[in-house]
Amino acid sequence: MILRMYALFLAAALLGTTAALAEPVELKFGAFLSPRNFAVKKVLEPWAKWVQEQVGDEVAIKIYSGGTLGRNPVQQMKLLKDGVQDITFAVPSYTPARFVDLSLFELPGLVRNSTEGSLALWRMYEKGLVRGFEDVKVVGIFTLDPSILHMAKPIQSYRDMKGMKIRTGGRIHNDIVKALGAVPVGMPVTRVAENMSRNLIDGAIIPWTSVVPFRINQVAKYHYKVDLGVLSIVIAMNKERYEKLSPRARAVIDKSGSMLAKLQGDVFDSTRASFIEQTKADSQQRVLDPTAVEQQEMASLFKPLHERWQAEHGSDRYDALVKILAQLREGD
């Protein structure tokens, strides 16, 4: 009788252990974006599904969108470090002193679209040319589509912007706005529509793909199509959480970088084209193309920004990006 009870106890214990081992590790993925945002639907969710298909039931990635784990875009990396999130979707340009290498991509006139920007940034990161992420695990790093000027006040040219207050998303944006004779006002993209509607800002440097999701097109009716650099995005993971995963799960995470760069580029470039057509079809909106003379004038205004970046940070990273972009455009 005693032996039988012991056998039953042992069997129950083994079953319990097996069940415990079978429970997936839940990773909390925080995103300040709305759950309906196209980036959540077409980039974050497909990536999470791809990871789970690779590792089976070992890991469960749960996306907390809409700022459930923290709404402030500026605080996302801190939330990751504090363990509130295991994975985060963050905008490094909101803390430019930490991620100074990424400001290179924000210089106007270098990157033409999200695809080449994302692939180039991932190659730069793999080569060790992007610093500031030593205390996190970089899952993927990529760029948005080029920013342009979206204005609430009517303009026909950049010359009309003298003295206007323009929202910026980082130091390079500040320099761009000053070069155009306007006044930079720093703020997260989530606050742009409200501040524009209250006449606290006259316009904003924003990529096309942020205009519709953040309802900026409801107050900005003039869109001046000058490419003003690309902002970077990082999907980062808490380093301790990453190191506690199995070798199999870590190997899948390690393969995410190139996959995310390609996915991000495809999604953002196609969405940008769609939003541009949508805006042009709206009779209340004006899409303005700079003249050849205006483009030349602005290139002259922006040239000192490129020279200053190289003077402050050296030309090695600048030259490396120019070379990588040339290779991508040649199909390499």
Domains in the chain: ranges and CATH: 23-143+231-273 (3.40.190.170), 147-229+282-329 (3.40.190.170)
User: Which comes out higher in pLDDT, residue 64 or 22?
Assistant: 64
User: Which comes out higher in pLDDT, residue 170 or 279?
Assistant: 279
List CB contacts of 240: < 8 A, sequence separation 6 or more: none
Q: Taking residues 116-128, what's their average pLDDT?
A: 97
**Per-residue confidence band for 78, with pLDDT thresholds at 50, 70 and 90:** very high
d(CA 180, CA 246): 52
**Per-residue confidence band for 319, with pLDDT thresholds at 50, 70 and 90:** very high
Q: Taking residues 224-250, what's their average pLDDT?
A: 95
Which one-letter DSSP state was computed for residue 121?
H
What pLDDT, on a 0 to 100 scale, did the predictor assign at position 301?
A: 97
What pLDDT, on a 0 to 100 scale, did the predictor assign at position 2?
A: 52
Kindly tell me if the per-residue pLDDT of 87 is higher than 60.
yes
Kindly tell me if the per-residue pLDDT of 218 is higher than 90.
yes
Kindly tell me if the per-residue pLDDT of 8 is higher than 50.
no
Q: Which of 61, 88, 51, 58 is nearest to 72 (CA)?
A: 88
d(CA 124, CA 7): 59
Q: Which of 31, 194, 40, 229 is nearest to 120 (CA)?
A: 229
SS3 186: strand
Q: Report pTM.
A: 0.88
What pLDDT, on a 0 to 100 scale, did the predictor assign at position 169?
A: 86
**Per-residue confidence band for 18, with pLDDT thresholds at 50, 70 and 90:** very low
Q: Taking residues 34-40, what's their average pLDDT?
A: 94
DSSP string, 134-155: TTEEEEEEEE-PPEEEEESS--
d(CA 315, CA 4): 77
User: Which comes out higher in pLDDT, residue 170 or 37?
Assistant: 37
Do the Cβ atoms of 166 and 203 come closer than 8 Å? yes
**Per-residue confidence band for 199, with pLDDT thresholds at 50, 70 and 90:** very high
Do the Cβ atoms of 151 and 202 come closer than 8 Å? yes
Q: Taking residues 65-85, what's their average pLDDT?
A: 93
Share above pLDDT 70 across residues of the chain, in percent, rounded to a whole number: 93
Q: Taking residues 223-250, what's their average pLDDT?
A: 95
Give tens-digit pLDDT for 43-61: 999 999 999 999 988 999 9
Backbone φ and ψ of 162, nearest 5°: -50, 125
Average pLDDT value for the chain: 91
Kindly tell me if the per-residue pLDDT of 183 is higher than 90.
yes
User: Which comes out higher in pLDDT, residue 130 or 18?
Assistant: 130
SS3 266: helix
Q: What does the angle CA 173 – CA 177 – CA 179 come to, to the nearest 5 degrees?
A: 115
**Per-residue confidence band for 283, with pLDDT thresholds at 50, 70 and 90:** very high
d(CA 331, CA 169): 31
Give tens-digit pLDDT for 128-158: 999 999 999 999 999 999 999 999 999 999 9
End-to-end CA distance of the chain: 74
**Per-residue confidence band for 16, with pLDDT thresholds at 50, 70 and 90:** very low
Do the Cβ atoms of 122 and 262 come closer than 8 Å? no
What pLDDT, on a 0 to 100 scale, did the predictor assign at position 57?
A: 86
User: Which comes out higher in pLDDT, residue 134 or 4?
Assistant: 134
Q: Taking residues 210-228, what's their average pLDDT?
A: 94
What pLDDT, on a 0 to 100 scale, did the predictor assign at position 15?
A: 42
Q: Taking residues 166-191, what's their average pLDDT?
A: 94
